[in-house]
Amino acid sequence: MPEGLIVKALSGYYYVKPLASAEEIVLQCRGRGIFKKKGITPLVGDQVLYTPTENGEGTVDEILPRDTELIRPPIANASHAVLLFSVKEPDLNLQLLDKFLVHIEHAGLRPLICLTKEDLLDEQGDEQDRNLTRQVGELYEKVGYEVIITSSLTGSGTDEVKARLAGHISVFAGQSGVGKSSLLNAMLPGLSLETSEISLKLGRGRHTTRHVELIELDNGGYVADTPGFSQLDFLELGVEELSSCFIEFSEYAEQCKFRGCSHLHEPGCRVRAAVEEGEIVSSRYKHYVQFYEEMKDKKRRY
């Protein structure tokens, strides 16, 4: 049986791109009935074995083992996550950025922080915002993340982002209206994804993406243009796993006096000491405490 990649799932159909073919063909397939009986759902990003049928369509027969699996958006085998946050309109939200980073770390994906709409800083000539953007970039690079500042209007940083995605399946995530579709359009001219105007009153854009679909880049990479997120919850993450999703905590957590230290109130906590000494950024620790309390509160309610 030939091998293919599911690039779109819609209304019970799976659109499979043959991996052995150089042709730009995508086969509309149904999943085998056994999948439903076993509670298995093929996902966008799955590598599958399929059988072409006489009517020009096909059947997905087998799903090959997955490297990663995301629940929201539902996608398999993604290895990179591009987190897009605009420097203006809407304003940078570091608490939400840290929340995304927690989910991405938990999912085992490699994050790339992309600060979009750099052109707005030049347009408005705001030196304070320009300095803040630079400081945010330096802060997250100190933590250990790669940060690229981009502008879809001028093309700045676009090639750099595209180069990082070569040969991988990546997801784009972030606030609505930060320029996900605009950046994809800039990376792949002729794509013409729908973009939305920003509502200045609400500070966010309308969702313009309705389903998960893989967009093929010309360097062997695929990007999942995913529905915008307005909020994330922590239902699939255990509270004891939270600190491991703050990557800068790990070297200090090993030195804590108590195993399983929550880094909130225990004596001999090296993480809190590192915050006081300026080794761990205080805003990141503050968000950790907020997320911890949020998770404990949700656990009580469910």
Q: Which residues are annotated as a binding site?
A: 116-119, 174-182, 256, 261, 263, 269
- The C-alpha R_g of the chain, in whole angstroms, comes to 21
Q: CB-based contacts of 118: which residues, under 8 Å, 6+ apart?
A: 87, 133, 149, 150, 151, 154, 156, 157
User: What is the three-class DSSP state of 16?
Assistant: strand
**What distances in angstroms separate CA 281 from CA 91, 114, 188, 246, 270, one per listed residue?**
20, 20, 36, 11, 14
Six token digits for residue 281: 């950024």
Number of other CB atoms surrounding residue 248 within 10 Å: 18
**Tokens 């509670």 sit on residue:** 39
Known binding site for Zn(2+): residues?
256, 261, 263, 269
Angle CA(205)–CA(164)–CA(15) in degrees, nearest 5?
Answer: 65
Dihedral sign of CA atoms 34, 39, 41, 46 in order: negative
- The binding site for GTP comprises 116-119, 174-182
Q: Are 96 and 188 in contact (CB under 8 A)?
A: no
